[in-house]
Amino acid sequence: VEYYLTLAEHLGAAAKYQLLGALFAGQKIPKLEPTVPAIRGSMGGHTYYSFSIEPARLLKMAYVLHRNQANSELMPTYQRLIKKSRLKKVAAFVEDGGFFPNSIILNIETGKKKGSLQFDLAGKDSMGSGAAKIGLLHLPRTYRAAYVIDGQHRLYGYANSGRAATDLIPVVAFLDLGRKEKVKLCIEINGKQKAV
């Protein structure tokens, strides 16, 4: 309870997305349109999808693994709590017409269930086995299906914005990364990249 009260102080009404993800993980989200045009590829031995989506849609299925006892059963966790001051700056930037060209990084958890994630190729698949494929991705329609590895402030900056339902944000989504792989990727993104 303390975690959600603290989160509400930082996120306001947007804290509901974390609460819904915790309470209804794996349950169907009513009236969620799951389809996005996407590119499927492979990087570092992992399948990924690159697509654009409205923040309002992504917020419903996204979940951030904050380092706290509320997420102890999902250990190891890797994200620090969202900073209210930074979130306000992001929200103001977005409201003033700003945008972020870099991708939010996700891990989509399918539970390896058949049919939980579907990718329909566009047209005849004439590319080689190593080439990227273009098609329609059908995302899981469930709470806590997409773990945010990088970009929580960018995503939640849209939560109270009038542009959350109209803007499109770029996403790179991996599939079924193990817990240690998610932590490693988060550390590599935040610790080994240098600012331009």
Residue 74 pLDDT exceeds 50: no
Helices (H) and strands (E) in the chain, counts: 6, 8
Model confidence at 70, pLDDT cuts 50, 70, 90, reads very low
Average pLDDT over residues 43-50: 89
The residue among 60 and 160 whose pLDDT is bigger is 60
pTM: 0.79
With a CB cutoff of 8 Å and minimum separation 6, the contacts of 173 are 48, 49, 50, 51, 105, 106, 107, 108, 146
Q: What is the pLDDT of residue 81?
A: 62
- pLDDT category of residue 52 using cuts at 50, 70 and 90: very high
Q: What is the mean pLDDT of residues 110-114?
A: 67
pLDDT reported for residue 196: 31
What distance in Å separates the CA atoms of residue 55 and residue 174, rounded to the nearest whole number?
Answer: 18
What is the β-pairing status of strands 133-138 and 46-53? unpaired
- The answer, yes or no, to whether residue 104 has pLDDT greater than 90, is yes
CB 70 within 8 A of CB 177: no
d(CA 112, CA 102): 28
139 pLDDT band (50/70/90 cuts)?
very high
Per-residue pLDDT at 78 exceeds 60: no
Element (H, E) at 131: none
**Average predicted confidence (pLDDT) for the chain:** 79
Q: Is 85 left (phi over 0), alpha (psi -120 to 50) or beta?
A: alpha
pLDDT at 112: 64
All residues at 6 or more sequence positions from 128 whose CB lies less than 8 Å from its CB, including other chains: none
Report the 10 Å Cβ neighbour count for 27.
12
Amino acid making up residue 153: H
